[in-house]
Structure 1
């Protein structure tokens, strides 16, 4: 629908997902993804693209659910993919680097940018998370390699996938909370479920 710069996409759910131009246009997406972060900005004035010139009715595209369906609204979709890790968020198709503003030391910010720049596969970008501050090069490099391997696996599945197939699913919410918030300031995790406790224990050992 060109008027509202949105495409409705059949992803196999009751309601079609909706894909706005800001979730296709990589420059707009980078600005959205790095809101509250500091990233490299384009020097020239940027004009958003027209969705009707990018997508055609009936074509098959790879999308990521960025927000689950709510009531009568379908899922919010994006083609600007993100794969969150412990220290970075990998952006497989946006070759830009952003750094959390909570990392205030300029030397540390530059150090992290250099590590990520040298470790990223060609054509990829990343948002450097607060948890990466003062971490060893090898830890961040390992995080990047792990996330890049997930993207590689997604593309392998894509080669033989049928329309509406799910190619990747993020880890459960409890483990996401641990991944996103566990840092050196956390000394204890309390949980009231034995089964979840075991899962978290195994997960923490691996990260």
Structure 2
């Protein structure tokens, strides 16, 4: 059976068609009114850092500021801030901890996030939880881009395979396939549906998520925060 996914996206609506042997099997329609936002990537601005609650409120242009808990700040917060604001945006008192950040315990990493974040900084963020009631969306600075078989992790440096793929030989095969494909400075998580897929299918998916990341970087050059850079259409 030959499967195809066709995506047509406009500013206010996205249509996703799943074809099986050329016949329409499923159709997904997302309009502006009912569109999910989890997975969307924005360039935003730090509105208020509140170290007392280990969080920051982020201006994303939504009715309510987004909520960034320091535990969601990720391992590459400093790299993204330097990329968007320049190296001088990293406070001097945070730099000693950054030299050994891989060795820090979780509570120390959260404290470091509080040192790095400053009001007015530009920030690349991804929505991880929809807004509820009077609360704004919850966000992370651990950016990921989902493909059909892979999840791309910019700034990452590892290849991980879904735990649901339990066969040792298949796990090793998938890691070996990706070992020579993944560019330096990127990490990849192999999704469960990649099991049994051939090298070309995996390579095509990797190229697709890398293209999406390049488009995000292109938009970043001219986008002013707050702006939507990438709308996630992962099903």
TM over 0.5: yes
Aligned twin of 1:76: 138
Q: Is 1:47 aligned with 2:96? A: no
Tell me if 1:24 matches 2:82.
Answer: no
Partner of 1:141: 203
Residues 170 and 25 from structure 1, CA distance in 2 versus in 1: closer, same or farther, beyond 3 angstroms?
closer
158, 166, 181: which one aligns with 1:104: 166
Cross-structure match for 1:4: 53
Q: What TM-score does the superposition give when structure 1 sets the normalisation length?
A: 0.71
| Residue equivalent to 2:177 | 115
CA RMSD of aligned residues (A): 1.6
By percentage of residues, which structure has more strand? 2
Q: Deviations over 1:31-63 (max 9, x none)?
A: xxxxxxxxxxxxx86423222211111111111
Aligned counterparts of 1:153 and 1:164: Cα–Cα separation in 2? 17
- Once residues 54 and 181 of structure 2 are traced to their aligned partners in structure 1, the CA distance between those partners, rounded to angstroms, is 36
* Structure holding more helix per residue: 1
TM-score, length-scaled by structure 2: 0.63
2:149 equivalent to 1:87: yes
* Separation (CA, whole Å) in 1 of partners of 2:142 and 2:157: 11
Structure 2 residue matching 1:166: 3-state secondary structure: strand
Q: Secondary structure at the match of 2:124?
A: coil
How far off its partner does 1:113 sit? 1.1
Equivalences, count: 157
| Secondary structure of the corresponding residue to residue 179 of structure 2 | helix
